[in-house]
Every structure is written in structure tokens, then in C-alpha cells.
């Protein structure tokens, strides 16, 4: 891989996104660290730069078409044309169906699906013109269905269908598109789930881990390792796939 390639990671100020950003920087990519709050991205950028990498903090609402276009243009100008896109930005608004509001539904759909669409549309031209690109979209085991997550489950299933279509449309241009579907990963989002349920996080984690064949919860580094594979030169014949990184088999 040439060291001039640029990767964009959304939702990268913390959790899985931050882990992915750091890993791609270690792999030699210049990394644009995107999140709603640009200041919140600065620590990840500082970590990357301290290790000798190149990174840029960019504050952007991935559901805003104009903001996304401006952000991608800035990244291309300051870091180089985007070659890798990791659509990781996401939110949860969990509730049982009869309690779920329209705002709960719309906000989750907007960030996960509209956000992935806008970001992908904004970068695909750079990738197709260069004849090389990697799109990695984050789904979830919740795409298979999960109580209290009708919105999130539908959005994450939609991400999978979106990605498979990208693989078909963009493959002839040297661009692959794949999905990583994490299971239980120890992040602020899963901590928020435990809080919503009124359960201490350690108790929540222990309950979940009992059902995971490898006997532990996942970490952002586990997802980052999978992203690293999909983003590599060697993964050029792998496209349109859904990889469940969940400590055991999923449907």
C-alpha cells in the first residue's frame, strides 16, 4: 500500500470509530477523524500524530448533504483523495415498538442510512476515478432482530442491503464494499444500553458474555482488525460480504 492513501472514519471521536481510526493510521493511511463535534476528535488525532501518522479532525453532521460535501472536499485538499471510507457513525434510540416515537425512528434511520448514503456518494467519485477504493459499513448483530430495537435493527439491516448494491455497482471500478456486523462490544453505546435497562454495566456484560462462545466481550480493537483486512490491498476479491464479529456464529 502507498502511504499517500487517505481513509475517512465517521463517528470516530470515541469507541469503535476511534479504534478503527488508530488502526488505519498504524496501517499507513492518513486518517480523517469525523464526528459531530470536531473538538471531540482532537485526542484521536493527537494520538495518531504522536505515533508518527497524519490525521485531521473534521466536525460534520453526516445527515447534512452540504456539510458532508464540504467535509469531503476539505479532506481531499488537506490529506488527499479519499480511498477508504468507514461508515461507523450511529446512534441508538431504543424502545419497545409501542413506546417508540416517530422521532426515535427517524433519527436512527437518518444517521445510519442517510449518513452512509451521503458519505458514500460524496467519496465514490474519488475512488472510481483512481480505480481503487474500500468502503466498509458498520452494521450489527441487531440486524437479525433485537427486542427494543425495531429502528436500529431495521437501519442495520438496511446497511447490509445498501452495501451489497454498492459492491455490484462499484466493483468494476476497483472499489469493494463490505459490512462488519459487531456483536457485543464494550463501548459507551453498550454502557448506555445497560443504563437504559437500569442494570450496572458489569452485570449487563456478565449476562451477555455467558452467551458468547469465546467467553468474552468484544473490544473496539476487534472491529478495527476486521476493518484493516477489508481496507487492505489483499482484500480486493472480497466484496459484498457481511462479517459478523461477535465471538461466535450468526445467521
Does the predicted model carry a pTM greater than 0.85? yes
DSSP-H helix ranges across 81-219: 102-109, 115-130, 150-170, 188-197, 201-209
> By percentage, how much of the chain surpasses pLDDT 70?
98
pLDDT number for residue 1: 45
Q: Find residue 34's DSSP bridge partners.
A: 58
pLDDT at 16 > cutoff 70: yes
Q: What is the mean pLDDT of residues 236-241?
A: 98
pLDDT number for residue 3: 52
Active site residues: 152
Query: What value does the mean pLDDT of the chain take?
Result: 96
Dig out the grid coordinates for 157 from the structure. Answer: 439491516
Domains belonging to the chain, first-starting first, are: 6-183+220-241 (3.40.50.720), 187-217 (no CATH)
Sign, CA dihedral 159-111-133-184, equals negative
DSSP string, 8-39: EESS-SSHHHHHHHHHHHHTT-EEEEEES-TG
> By percentage, how much of the chain surpasses pLDDT 90?
92
Residue 125 CB-density burial (10 A; 0-12 exposed, 13-18 middle, 19+ buried): middle
Q: Which of 73-77, 166-170, 205-209 has the lowest mean pLDDT?
A: 205-209
For residue range 143-155, what is the model confidence (pLDDT) as tens digits? 999 999 999 999 9
Return the number of other C-beta atoms located less than 10 Å from residue 87's C-beta.
31
pLDDT at 4 > cutoff 90: no
For residue range 43-59, what is the model confidence (pLDDT) as tens digits? 999 999 999 999 999 99
Amino acid at each position: 500500500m502507498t502511504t499517500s492513501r487517505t481513509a475517512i472514519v465517521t463517528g470516530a471521536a470515541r469507541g469503535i470509530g476511534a479504534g478503527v481510526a488508530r488502526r488505519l493510521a498504524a496501517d499507513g493511511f492518513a486518517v480523517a477523524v469525523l464526528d459531530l463535534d470536531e473538538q471531540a476528535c482532537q485526542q484521536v488525532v493527537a494520538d495518531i500524530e504522536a505515533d508518527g501518522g497524519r490525521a485531521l479532525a473534521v466536525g460534520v453532521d453526516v445527515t447534512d448533504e452540504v456539510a458532508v460535501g464540504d467535509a469531503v472536499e476539505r479532506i481531499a485538499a488537506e490529506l488527499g483523495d479519499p480511498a477508504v471510507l468507514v461508515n461507523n457513525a450511529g446512534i441508538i434510540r431504543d424502545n419497545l415498538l409501542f413506546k417508540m416515537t416517530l422521532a426515535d425512528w427517524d433519527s436512527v434511520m437518518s444517521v445510519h442510512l442517510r449518513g452512509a448514503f451521503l458519505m458514500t456518494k460524496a467519496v465514490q467519485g474519488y475512488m472510481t476515478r483512481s480505480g481503487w477504493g474500500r468502503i466498509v459499513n458498520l452494521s450489527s448483530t441487531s440486524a437479525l432482530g433485537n427486542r427494543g430495537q425495531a429502528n436500529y435493527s431495521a437501519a442495520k439491516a438496511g446497511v447490509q442491503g445498501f452495501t451489497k448494491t454498492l459492491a455490484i455497482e462499484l466493483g468494476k471500478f476497483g472499489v469493494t464494499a463490505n459490512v462488519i456486523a459487531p456483536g457485543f462490544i464494550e463501548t459507551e453505546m453498550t454502557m448506555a444500553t445497560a443504563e437504559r435497562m437500569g442494570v450496572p454495566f458489569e452485570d449487563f456484560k456478565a449476562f451477555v458474555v455467558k452467551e458468547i462462545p469465546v467467553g468474552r466481550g468484544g473490544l473496539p480493537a476487534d472491529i478495527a482488525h476486521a476493518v484493516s483486512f477489508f481496507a487492505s490491498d489483499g482484500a480486493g476479491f472480497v466484496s459484498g460480504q457481511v462479517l459478523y464479529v461477535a465471538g461466535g456464529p450468526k445467521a
